[in-house]
Chain A
Amino acid sequence: MEETQFMKVMTWLQDSSIAIWVAESETIWAYPTMLTLHTFGLAILVGSNAVIDFRLLGFSRETPIPPLKKLFGPMWVALAINATTGVLLFMSGARVKGLVIMLYVKLTFVVLALIVLLQIRRIVFDSETRPEVATLPRASWLAALSLCLWAAATLSGRMMAYWDWSFGEY
């Protein structure tokens, strides 16, 4: 059967030397370390975002909101780690993973969660208005939405490993 253009790209990715190293190297520095770094990134990015979300929802009102802006530094580093390790993990099994529907479900939730995070940053942290803006209903709605989207992304990420719902035969 003629391979589709998509599968040709997946094959090319999977046959690259870096993908072969991640998939087949015997050392724990390859696949296991990529997975572990991906989990560190999840904990730092989503955990820090959860601190901001919970504060906006009204927990620990004694915590002033403006200093929480410093959490964006570690969050962007964690996002970069997860984008990098995510691409490498994908490449290591591109022919299969490229067809796994849960991957695209997960990526959709991640992108939506990041858009919500940027919205929170814009209306809560970048605004010239006083911090009380954060107690506006809109900020707490965004915070609740953020938590739901990250939970959905975590769930669909986990399900990638177990639910072989796919776009085709691989």
Chain B
Amino acid sequence: MTFTQWIEATTLSETLRSIRWLWQWAETVHFIGLTLLIGFVGFLDLRLMGFMRGVPISAAKKFMPWAIFGFALNVVTGLSFFLTFPARYTDNGAFFAKMLFIIVAGLNALFFETRLGARVLAMGPNDDPPMSFKIVGTLSIVSWLAVLYFGRMLPYLWQGIL
């Protein structure tokens, strides 16, 4: 029995498959989650890159709980997709590319929070951010847009790689 078959045989997977319209509602919530995530993270990223002057970086960061909320919605709904039809994902290259970019974006955010976080408070609302901030902001927005790209292209790219 493969890993995919094992997941499909679990009671949870069977139950999810039996709920009518679950997939469609989960997709809708997944789209709302990605919109919140890209909207709020993108706003902070633009400020880190030096745009949106006049907004203190610490103020843009105050929206992050909503970005995390959007991400949490997508973890839950994403898991429901995976558990419902694991075979669509376990041999799909775009899925692995998507997971890779989530990890890159996550590590980048962690680096910003732990290593650069203390410098944020010292900055004024109109300050040009240091190069490290610009790099973090650019890497963040590029990674999240890559997550979106590989997610939406998942049915069309690199299926059946295993």
Contacts and interface: CB of A to CB of B under 8 A. Distances in A.
**Dominant SS at the A interface?**
helix
A67 B42 contact: no
Nearest to B31: A154
B68 interface: no
Interface string A56-98: 0001101110111011000000000000000000000000000
B32 A151 contact: yes
B52 A67 contact: yes
Contact of B60 (A36, A48, A63): A63
Interface stretch (B6-14, B79-87, B103-111, B151-159): B151-159
A154 B40 contact: no
Interface in B106-162: 125, 145, 148-149, 152-153, 155-157
Contact of A154 (B32, B60, B152): B32
A117 interface: no
B40 A46 contact: no
A47 B42 contact: yes
Given A48-B43, A62-B56, A64-B125, A54 B63 contact: yes
A163 to B, nearest CB: 8
B2 interface: no
Interface residues of B, number: 35
A155 B55 CA distance: 32
B35 to A, nearest CB: 5
Contact of A62 (B27, B38, B52, B59): B59
Interface string A148-170: 00110011011100100000000
Contact of B156 (A28, A46, A64): A28
A112 interface: no
Interface residues of A, number: 34
Contacts of A28: 153, 156-157
Contact of B39 (A40, A43, A70, A154): A43
Contacts of A59: 62-63, 66
Contacts of A54: 40, 63, 66
Interface string B31-75: 110111111101100000001111110111011001000000000
Contacts of A162: 24
B28 interface: yes
Interface of B: 24, 27-28, 31-32, 34-40, 42-43, 51-56, 58-60, 62-63, 66, 125, 145, 148-149, 152-153, 155-157
9 pairs of A and B residues whose beta carbons are closest in the complex: A47-B39, A67-B54, A60-B62, A62-B59, A43-B38, A32-B156, A63-B59, A36-B152, A158-B28
